[in-house]
Structure 1
């Protein structure tokens, strides 16, 4: 069974192709962006990634060969080394030459401020407002995956084999791609990755801010799709990550 994401409807075709369609009109241009970006980016990366082609423009349908592996379930140090090498190569790519790369993240700060922030207890709203102000000033200087989590990192026989779903790729802050790997994984994994990537104190601090912002997306998605359970779980994450 293929796990379905927030942005695309996905199906397996003939046992060898992954076909993706947008869940909403705004995702269509992002799928088409991948068909321009990934043929240029893939040869520069040390792990397998999807290289989609256009099947149809109206409606938008793209297709790529299956990337081997299953979502990583037990992050360990050896996997961290491979993923650290991958992220270094990704962030070293010449962003000025990247075809179709969106200029900056699609970060809904206005929606976070108007829809999510008021849901916080009054005693936590200052901390939430400070977080939004902080990330708004972060640099945009590298090609970033934009949504790097365990569901998008594939492993085969215990080793990382590929990274999928570049719909959120953009010119952005490399610390965004370090958020989950540094702060959502076991200590041994995060330390091994930090060593492989050579994470600086400045990058680590920005990655923590991005990690704290992660659940805000879940809350906003729950509000947009009228899913109270997603709003509730997202708010639990928002409050837990904001800290005391």
Structure 2
């Protein structure tokens, strides 16, 4: 059962001694794993309160705390310029329910991809910010006990995910063949693993004064393929915007020898549909399964129907 905003506000007062809650606002970031509210104190300062709904979510929340603290230190020493939420206190929930965590709020509004113009402004800020993440020392993640993969281990992980999806009988065969070819093309997978956010998208990037000011939702952080953090852009950004972002990203990387970075980013964006389907299979959620199947059929039509039509016109000629 979701916890009420007032209950979360009361827990926030326990978690942060002296926090005098003046107002409670629902947060758009609540989801199936977390209850989230924003509380305001008497000075108008806003705090984010997050409580897990499941034990696995609670474990992820605990692991994220150490990483956020380490990222805060990275900002203080100039390794990154963006802000992240900082844990300010916690309080135990019921037995085996984990902890509620209270964070400082990061200033900014969620990015709107459709509003980005190509050029040196926000597009360049996004590219530079992603480069800062990928230039972080691997120890920032490793010392928190978060997952770390070599390039080959990550390729094998993706192949295993595809194999599991194929065994459900729900993956369109032409998509399965496409993904398998790309995953078995070892020339694509010669990359240097980096720190990655792991769940990057519009809602995770907070913008203030035309620049990226903060990044939230670090629970999927790991050492893995930097292409994962570019997947959302490869899927949805207009080409001229993507070019501006990638140009600034390339400038921000000290040694970037990865000619297939964007190829893997496009593949990662497609495989996100497979992971969504498999989430539905694991949780036995028929709505998610149907949604995943429908999106994969749409992708298959987008990728292959134009090819089929072109070949048909060629045959007629």
Shorter-chain-normalised TM-score: which range?
A: 0.7 to 0.9
After the TM superposition, which residues 1-244 of structure 1 pair with which residues of structure 2 at under 5 Å, given as runs? 1-3=26-28, 4-14=30-40, 16-42=46-72, 43=75, 44-58=79-93, 59-73=98-112, 74-77=115-118, 78-98=121-141, 99-104=143-148, 110=160, 113-115=163-165, 118-130=169-181, 141-198=193-250, 200-241=258-299, 243-244=303-304
- Number of aligned residue pairs: 244
Contact 2:67 2:140 in 1 (8 A): no
How far off is 1:220 after superposition?
Answer: 2.3
Greater relative contact order structure (CA < 8 Å, 6+ sep):
1
Compared CA separation, residues 157 and 93, structure 1 to 2 (3 A): closer
Higher mean Cα deviation, 172-181 or 137-146?
Answer: 137-146
How far off is 1:33 after superposition?
Answer: 1.6
Distance in 2 between the 1:205 and 1:121 partners? 21
Compared CA separation, residues 213 and 54, structure 1 to 2 (3 A): farther
Distance in 2 between the 1:26 and 1:138 partners? 32
Contact 1:101 1:171 in 2 (8 A): no
How far off is 1:64 after superposition?
Answer: 1.0
TM-score normalised per structure 1: 0.84
Distance in 2 between the 1:151 and 1:97 partners? 23
Alignment RMSD, CA only?
Answer: 3.0
Distance in 2 between the 1:21 and 1:202 partners? 39
How far off is 1:91 after superposition?
Answer: 0.8
Distance in 2 between the 1:232 and 1:193 partners? 34
Distance in 1 between the 2:148 and 2:185 partners? 16
Compared CA separation, residues 192 and 9, structure 1 to 2 (3 A): same
Distance in 2 between the 1:230 and 1:57 partners? 32
Contact 2:227 2:262 in 1 (8 A): yes
Distance in 2 between the 1:134 and 1:49 partners? 36
How far off is 1:128 after superposition?
Answer: 4.3
Moved over 6 A (4+): 105-109
Q: Which stretches in structure 1 are left out of the alignment for 5+ residues?
A: none
Larger Rg: 2
Matched residue of 1:33: which SS?
Answer: helix
TM-score normalised per structure 2: 0.66
